[in-house]
Structure formats: structure tokens, C-alpha cells
Chain A
Amino acid sequence: DTGVSQDPRHKITKRGQNVTFRCDPISEHNRLYWYRQTLGQGPEFLTYFQNEAQLEKSRLLSDRFSAERPKGSFSTLEIQRTEQGDSAMYLCASSSGGLQGGNTQYFGPGTRLTVL
């Protein structure tokens, strides 16, 4: 069973640049989630997909953030015009959505973003 994978693991960028992260969920999972984690805090929800439909977005997701899941498989999270406050660990998770344990989310290793 291949787990959730994320790419890249680390990204260093300069303020104002655009960055894109990729997440590949567990293959049979139809739900995919993005979270952001800052140092010393628990993860905070950003957005959620069921198949290719983006069903929920947190108010943390400003208009500089956009997420897609075009074919209901992998997902991308893009941040435009990065700011230093965007520095964080971006975590992706997936779940099956089934009746048995369907709300259990499995996390990838995360992408650590540093904005200089």
C-alpha cells in the first residue's frame, strides 16, 4: 500500500514568487485535503476535494492560494506572490470516504516552504 506522497519536500523561494506543490493520495481514496502547519502549532485546514470537486475552503485560503484536482487523482496547491507569512509546512491527506473508517485521514510527509 503506497502512502500519500508530496513533492517537493522542501522549497525555498523569494518573496513575490509563485510556488506549486503536488500531492499524490492513496490510490483508492476519493477525498483529498490540504492543511498548513506553522511551527509549534497543530495543522489547520485549508481545503478539501471529493474526487475532482473542491467542496470546502477555509477562510485561511486567501485569493493568492489556489488548489486543483483535475482528474480526481493528484492535486496541486499554488501560492501566488508569496509572502514571508506563507512560510509553513503544507500537509496533504487523503481518506476513502467509505462507511468503515472513511473519515480516517492519512497524511503525507509534507512540503516545507520557506519564503525569504
Chain B
Amino acid sequence: GDSVTQMEGPVTLSEEAFLTINCTYTATGYPSLFWYVQYPGEGLQLLLKATKADDKGSNKGFEATYRKETTSFHLEKGSVQVSDSAVYFCALIFSSGSARQLTFGSGTQLTVLP
């Protein structure tokens, strides 16, 4: 079945460091890919998305590129801030067919120290 694998955390960085969180997926077909962020005690917020190969999603300084050849959607940010501390989830969904649910990775906890 479809699955998403994220790099294991927790990840701890100093402020202004470069961030990469790896995400790879296994799916039959070409899903849409998402990154969601969850702050402590809150629900998930959509961070960015990409719907087809080579698309780049970006938001709030975060970027991720849909790489079909490596089935990856790695999240990057050039300079993290303390306020970026949260759990980050990679997810996929198919826009056609009967399946409508998001399939999530297990999440990566990010802590940014001042």
C-alpha cells in the first residue's frame, strides 16, 4: 500500500541554521504531496504542497520539490527561527479514484535553540 517515510527525529538546530527534513514515499501512481506543521497542542496546518513532478511548493521560507525519479519531497529552509519549533509531517493523497484520505509519515520533531 501507499506509505510515507520521514527521517527520524528529533532534530535540534541553532537559530539561523539550514534545515532539511527528508521524506520519501511509496505509491502506485502520482500522488499530490504535502507538508503539514503541528505546533504544541494544536491541529495540523498546511505548510506547502506540490501536485505534480518537478513542482516546488514554498511558504514562509520553507521549500520542497516533488522529485518523481527519487520519490522524494524533502523539506528545506535556509535559516530556521525559534518559532519554527514544531512537528513536521509529510503526507500524500491521490486526487483521482476512490481513495481520498491523506497518508502521513510519522512526523519529525524540530527544536530550534536561540
* A residues in contact (CB < 8 Å) with B: 4, 6, 31, 33, 35, 40-45, 48, 55-56, 58, 91, 93, 102-110
Contact = CB atoms under 8 A, between A and B. Distances in A.
A92 B36 CA distance: 14
Interface of B: 4, 32, 34, 36, 42-46, 49, 89, 91, 93-95, 98-107
Nearest to B91: A42
Contacts of A58: 101
A69 B63 CA distance: 36
A29 to B, nearest CB: 13
8 contacts: A33-B101, A35-B102, A40-B106, A42-B89, A43-B44, A48-B101, A58-B101, A109-B43
Contacts, number: 63
Contacts of B49: 104
Query: Which of A4, A55, A102, A107 is most buried by chain B, counting CB atoms within 10 A of its CB?
Result: A107
B101 A56 contact: yes
A5 B9 CA distance: 30
Contact of B102 (A40, A105, A108, A109): A105
B24 to A, nearest CB: 14
Contacts of A42: 4, 89, 91, 104-107
A45 B100 CA distance: 10
Contacts of A103: 32, 93-95, 100
A108 B104 CA distance: 16
Contacts of B45: 107
B32 A40 contact: no
Contacts of B107: 40-42
A25 B106 CA distance: 25
